[in-house]
Structures are given as structure tokens and as C-alpha cells.
Amino acid sequence: MSVSTPRIDEPAAASADAPRSTGQRRDGGPRRAVKPSRILLAALLAVAALYFLLPVYWLVVASTKSSPDLFGTFGLWFSDPQWLHNLSQVFSYSDGIFWNWTWNSLLYAGVGGALATLLAGAAGYALAVYRFRGREAVFKVVLAGVLLPSTALALPMYLLFSKVGLANTYWAVLIPSLVSPFGVYLCRIYAEAAVPAEMLEAARVDGAGEWRIFGTLVLRTMTPALVTVFLFQFVGIWNNYFLPLVMLSDDRKYPITLGLTTWQSAADRTPELYQLTVGGAFLSILPLAAAMLVLQRYWRSGLTQGSVKG
């Protein structure tokens, strides 16, 4: 969904921008005329923000309407809002199956994202700190993994999972969500820059084992990168469609993306489902928005540090 993108771009652009502007003001003394390039930049950013936020605004407005009003009234303004009615419909339709989907999405994205972050952190740290034969080869294979679209892997994975009898289980979506090549890449770059060798030496001298060093020192030092990886992975799993589509057939195990599509599929025949689909889509972006708002502080520093020092 489009909400994720602006959050990545904007803070990064803004923070790269911010120090320069304050610096200028401090040195420059009296107010200077604003440069045209800055106005242009601000205008461009405003347009970009509008471009990304408008659909969200539309979604908020649309989720308050009835099915006929959805089509018959101006899309960007309210008409006869019936929010509570709509949302209670979303949750009660078909024996409250939307609750199942929400819970499943939280499970896949939350647990999958957390474990993937831990794995990526450990792998990235190991690649950054330990010297071993084939280290670069391993890293390059992981890099190649970044280039492979996960969609291309879904079908072969489905055949494998069917063979071992895991198709149409929670594991079928969880296990593939546990790996994040991009996360490994980011964590390695970050660990190289942020984990000082002296600190590790000191810890070893003090008698800490490698696991303890990783668990207490390194994870803490790497927090910004880990939060970044977690958010990427969380959003990725949350919005994933193809993998659960192929893997799952029991609609009680579906995540929200897939569930809403089944509603949309039936909306041709049962028009009230248009409204429920829109209402469900609105509800489904709330956890993403919450995760972004809570974690964006870390996200920002994680990204910029990675980009500056990498």
C-alpha cells in the first residue's frame, strides 16, 4: 500500500535537508531571502505528500459512505456518514471473519517480522564482524536474494511445502516470512559502521561469551537498524498477497489482503460488499499507521545512518 513509501522518503529528505538550513541561518546572521530552489523543493515535496496522502484521505471519506453513495457522491467529501454502522458491518459479516483475518495478519506480520529481524540482525552482525572463509560469497548470495522478487519464489515454495504437508497451514506463510535478504544487507552495513571493534574486545576481555555479547551489547547498539528492518518486513508481510494466495486455501487462515479480495470478488454479485471491502481496507491500514508513528524515530535514524556511513 502506498502509505509506506512517503514515510521512507520524506523524513530522509527532510533530515538530510534540515542541518543545512539551520546552519545557514546561524552563520548568515540577518534573514536572507529564501532561495528559489528551496521553494521549488518545498513545492515538490508538497506535491509528493499530496500524491501519497490523497488516497488515504479518500479511503477515510469512502469508509463512511454507503455502497450507493460510494459511487454516486463526490469522492473527496462526506455524504451522510455512517461510520459506526459500516465498521460494525465489517466486523460482523460472515460470522466475524474479519477478526480472523486481522488476527492472522498481526500474527504473520508481527511474529514473522520480529523473527526475521532477529535473524537478519544476527546474520548481518556475523558477516560484519567475523572473518571466515567464504564470507564474501555468502554475502553476495544474500545480495542476489535482494534482487529476486519473492513472487517468483512463491510457486516453487508452494510445491515444496505441499510435499512436506505444510501447505494451507500457518507455517506456510510464516516460514518464508522469516528471511529478509535486504535486512541482512542493511544490518551488515550498519554493524560495520556502528559496532566498534574495541567494544567487542573489551567485552571479550571481561569474559563475555559471543552469544552474550550479541544479546546484550550488539542488539542494543544496532537498534535503529533493527527497527528499520522490522518495519520493512512488517509492512512487506502485511501487504503480501501472492504468497498467502498460493499457500492458503482455508479462508479462516487468510490475512486481511487476501480476505478483502474474496469480498471484492463477490461484490459483483453482492453489492454491499463494496462498502465492506473499503471499510476493511481502511481498518487494515491502521496498524501500519500506528507502527509507523511509534517507530518512525528509529526508522529515520536507521535509514540515514545506513545511507551516510554505508
Partner 1 sequence: MDTPTPSRRAVLRWGTGAAAALTAAPALTACGQTVGAARTTRQEPTRRGQKVKLVFWTWVPMQKTVDLWNRTHPGIQVEMQAIPANVQGGYQKMHSSLAAGNPPDLAQVEYHELPGFMLVNGLTDLSAYGADKLRDSYVPWQWKQGVFDGRVYTIPQASGPMGLFYRRDLFPQWGIETPATWAEFEKAARVVKARGGGARICAFAPNQPSWFAAMCWQRGARWVRTEGDTWVVDMNDDLSREVADYWARMVRDDLVFVEPDMSSAWYRHVQTGQISAWVGPQWGDALLRGNAPGTKGKWRVAQLPQWKAGQNASANWGGSSTAILQGSRHPREALQFAHWINTDRQAVDLNIGVGYGWPAAAGILRGSALDRPDPFFGGQRYNDVFAASDRAIDTSWKWSPTTDADFAQLQDAFGAAIASDGALASTLAGAQKSTVDNLLAKGLKARSAR
Return residues touching partner 1 (CB under 8 A): 67-68, 70-72, 75, 94, 155-156, 158-160, 162-163, 167, 241-242, 245-246, 249-251, 258, 261-262, 264-266, 268-272, 274
Q: What is the CA radius of gyration of the chain?
A: 23
Nearer to partner 1, 158 or 232 (CB): 158
Nearer to partner 1, 237 or 246 (CB): 246
Look-up: residue for cell 512463491? Answer: 154
CB of residue 168 to partner 1, shortest distance in Å: 8
Nearer to partner 1, 9 or 69 (CB): 69
CB of residue 249 to partner 1, shortest distance in Å: 5
CB of residue 180 to partner 1, shortest distance in Å: 24
CB atoms closer than 10 angstroms to residue 150: 17
Nearer to partner 1, 144 or 159 (CB): 159
CB atoms closer than 10 angstroms to residue 223: 15
d(CA 160, CA 51): 41
CB of residue 241 to partner 1, shortest distance in Å: 8
| H helices present in 148-271, as ranges | 150-163, 170-177, 181-194, 197-205, 210-212, 219-221, 223-239, 242-247, 256-267
Pair 252, 280: CB distance under 8 Å = no
Nearer to partner 1, 14 or 148 (CB): 148
* Neighbouring residues of 35: CB distance < 8 A, sequence distance ≥ 6: none
CB of residue 76 to partner 1, shortest distance in Å: 12
